Structure 1
Amino acid sequence: MDVLSDAIAAMRTGRPHSSRTARRGPWGLRFPASDGAGFHVVLQGSAWLLRPGAADPVHLGPGDVVFLAHGYGHGLADHPATPLEDFEPAPDGSWPEPADPGEITADTTLLLCGAYRLDRARAHPLLTELPEVIHIPARIGCHPQLRAAIDLLGSELAEPRPGSHAVVAGLLDTLLVYLMRTWWLSERPEGTGGWAAALRDRAVTAALQAMHGDPARPWTVEELAAEGGLSRAAFARRFAALIGRPPLAYLTWLRMTAAGRLLRETDTPLRSLAARCGYGSEFAFAKAFKREYGMAPGGYRRRTGQGPGQARRSPAPAPGRP
């Protein structure tokens, strides 16, 4: 897997939800804070994004996309002064069916909104470094894949057909990838450091792709440096400066994050799981896991209750910086 795919897989949990709704002014919606992330697309008309404590509201025109990666509460309205009505999702996170809008006229605002459930216990920096609000304005000829995913999702929600339930879920996952790819590769400000700079650095990116592609391999710093065409010392300095931790420390984080996900979601035996995560023995794996999570793998599996036939609960938070 590539870095972005791994970052999303490490956090995504549950089923995403979405809704296509029509509003006529005056209208206003207040979305509560959550552990997930959400997006809004203005298909027709316009809207204002309102954030508590923010200096200015954000105006959204036709085709504009806004992505809120950190689950902060916010409002959406036809005008900044319009009172907001609370939007309440169902206990399972699903969204209520929108009322029949009747005839769509020129003064109707059409919105496509969605939400993702995320496990933030071990959030990948690719998500934690995202700004509070990502606004992707509509521009002719820009981001065709993102626009295509939005069009397909809007069409399925407007006219459900056989198989739409599965199609919508798949399109929502696809849309999340396109939203993040669009930001990291096209929309982020030039000159930013951290992961934005890392993804522009060929040597660091090559090493990241190698680790994510085969995390079980017993990588050395020399081998990772060779992937990027650098000397060991130069690579180690550059990697730590951009990623925020040494190469092998990142590899351990990557392995342990995958191990936590497998323990929560599968009943894979610990010996097999240790091998998949790059450890030669169950003992070495258990020692590394306990150092990272503060408990033994078996205890973590029982506590999170993610094996087949067990009730799904939120995973225990992991200590330390993600």
Structure 2
Amino acid sequence: MDVLGDVLALARVDASLMATFDARAPWAIELPARRGASFHAVVAGTCWFTAVGAPPRQLTPGDLVLLPAGARHALATDPGLPTRRFDEDLKRRLIQPDGELVLDGPGARTRILCAGYGYAPDAAHPVLSLLPPVLHVATAQPESGPWLRMILDLLAHETHDDAAGSSTAAVRLLDLLLIHVIRAWLDSGGDAVDTSWLRGLRDPVTARALSALHARPGHAWTLDALAATVNVSRATLARRFTREVGQPPLTYLTRWRLHVAAHQLRETTAPVATIAHEVGYTSEYAFNRAFTRAHGQPPGRYRRRTTA
């Protein structure tokens, strides 16, 4: 089971291409904070990236920066230049008929793909909030770099092409790029993340247990059965899972079941009793109580509020 993909799907993480930025030096823009994540990928030239709490860093072709919480930041040919605020007025004045944002100047050219990711506030399973404020990944990494460069090249092609389906292809590639960026970060230093399911993906025992729970959330799991599935003792499983994820396996399972149930309530018309059974509850009453504790309201009211 693809745990990362499973969580992203239920959290309704959606990508959108915000702009293709084409600028010639000298230039400097400040991008305000936004709800959701901000993403930049340099495809030509260089620029400097600055954000609160992080030292300036130079980005070169193939560098990708993800700001999971959409923090305010700046891009410039030189970190000392005064910035222009990138607001709706500036965007309207700069945008070209083909959708590109262009800054003219006498100097070297830089081309950046800018995108955003958001997820529904009622889909509360944390995804992007577990990542650091600034996540910088370079496609020069030997393990993940070739795949990232391949996706980035395709994305640059689709955003510069007016062929049928190009906009849809670009959004799909952004979805894929997010997964590969998180993978690359986990491979290169994701141990800095706090205890969570995301950190658990880095530990082979915990990752296998997470995969089993996500593949069959409605199964009547016990600690013994889960330990046997991942081929370790129950003591080893309990210790490693709790150390990495921050909670015991069956506690995590309960929370995940209720996230799955919330998704089903939002996205389907299945009866509450059917959903309760699918996520492992033999009693609709027990499901209603557990769901109300987790979401602050019973399933029926939650469905009406989130689908209105």
1:24 matched residue in structure 2: 24
Per-residue CA distance 1:18-68 (angstroms, 9 max, x = gap): 42221012222222222311211111111111112x252111112211111
Map of 2:111 onto structure 1 = 110
* Contact 1:35 1:118 survives alignment (8 Å): no
Aligned mates of 2:115, 2:302 — CA distance in 1: 31
Task: Determine which of 202, 205, 226 is the counterpart of 1:203.
Answer: 205
For residue 48 of structure 1, what is the aligned residue in structure 2? Answer: 48
The residue aligned with 1:295 is: 297
| Structure with higher strand content | 2
Structure-2 residue corresponding to 1:131: 132
Distance 1:191 1:131, change over 3 A: closer
- 1:319 alignment counterpart: none
* Percent pairwise identity: 38
Residue aligning to 1:10: 10
- Where 1:144 maps in the other structure, the secondary structure is helix
List runs of 5+ in structure 2 lacking aligned partners: none
Q: Distance in 2 between matches of 1:287 and 1:192?
A: 32
The separation in 2 between residues aligned to 1:155 and 1:170, in whole angstroms, is 13
Q: Which of 280, 283, 293 is matched with 2:282 structurally?
A: 280
Alpha carbons 2:19, 2:101 under 8 Å: kept: no
Which stretch shifts more, 242-251 or 114-123?
A: 114-123
**1:142-291 correspondence runs (5 A):** 142=143, 143-184=145-186, 186-188=187-189, 194-195=195-196, 198-291=200-293
Which stretches in structure 1 are left out of the alignment for 5+ residues?
311-322
How far the C-alpha of 1:118 sits from its partner, in A, is 1.9
Structure 1 CA distance, aligned partners of 2:231 and 2:237? 9
Task: Flag the structure with higher helix content.
Answer: 2
Any conservation in 1 of the 2:29–2:85 contact (CA below 8 Å)? yes
| 1:181 shift after superposition | 1.3
Q: What is the identity, as a one-letter code, of the residue corresponding to 2:110?
A: T
Q: CA RMSD in A?
A: 2.7
TM-score by length of structure 1 reads 0.83
Match of 2:100, SS state, is: coil
Q: Is the contact made by 1:203 and 1:225 (CA closer than 8 Å) also made in structure 2? A: no
Q: What is the distance in 1 between the residues matched to 2:193 and 2:39?
A: 23
Change in 2 beyond 3 A, CA 1:187/1:124: farther
The superposition leaves residues 229-264 of structure 1 with CA deviations (integer Å, 9 ceiling, x where unpaired) of 222233212211211011111001111112222222
**What SS does the aligned partner of 1:280 have?**
coil
CA contact 1:40–1:113 (8 Å) conserved in 2: yes
Cα shift readout 1:283-319 (whole Å, capped 9, x = no counterpart): 2221110011110011111222x2xxx4xxxxxxxxx
- In structure 2, the residue matched to 1:60 is 59
Structure 1 window deviating more from structure 2 (172-181 vs 186-195): it is: 186-195
1:111 shift after superposition: 0.6
Report how many aligned residue pairs link the two structures: 299
Counterpart residue identity of residue 72, structure 1: A
Shift of 1:120: 5.1
Please say which of residues 37-46 and 123-132 is displaced more in the overlay: 123-132
195-204 vs 286-295, which moves further: 195-204
Map 1:78-93 to 2 at 5 A: 78-88=77-87
Q: How far apart, in 1, do the equivalents of 2:161 and 2:44 lie?
A: 17
Q: Is the Cα–Cα contact under 8 Å of residues 69 and 130 in structure 1 kept in the other structure?
A: yes
Confirm or deny: 8 A CA contact 1:263 1:301 kept in the other structure.
yes
Residues 37 and 68, structure 1, Cα contact 8 Å, conserved in 2: yes
Q: 1 CA distance for matches of 2:170 and 2:210?
A: 31
Q: Please tell me whether the aligned partners of residues 202 and 228 of structure 1 are also in contact (alpha carbons under 8 angstroms).
A: no
Task: Work out whether residues 15 and 174 of structure 2, in 8 Å CA contact, stay in contact via their aligned partners in 1.
Answer: no
Tell me the residue number matched to 1:76. Answer: 75
TM-score with structure 2 setting the length: 0.87
Q: Distance in 1 between matches of 2:32 and 2:13?
A: 19
Q: Is the 8 A contact 2:25 2:106 kept in 1?
A: no
- CA displacement at 1:115 relative to structure 2: 0.5
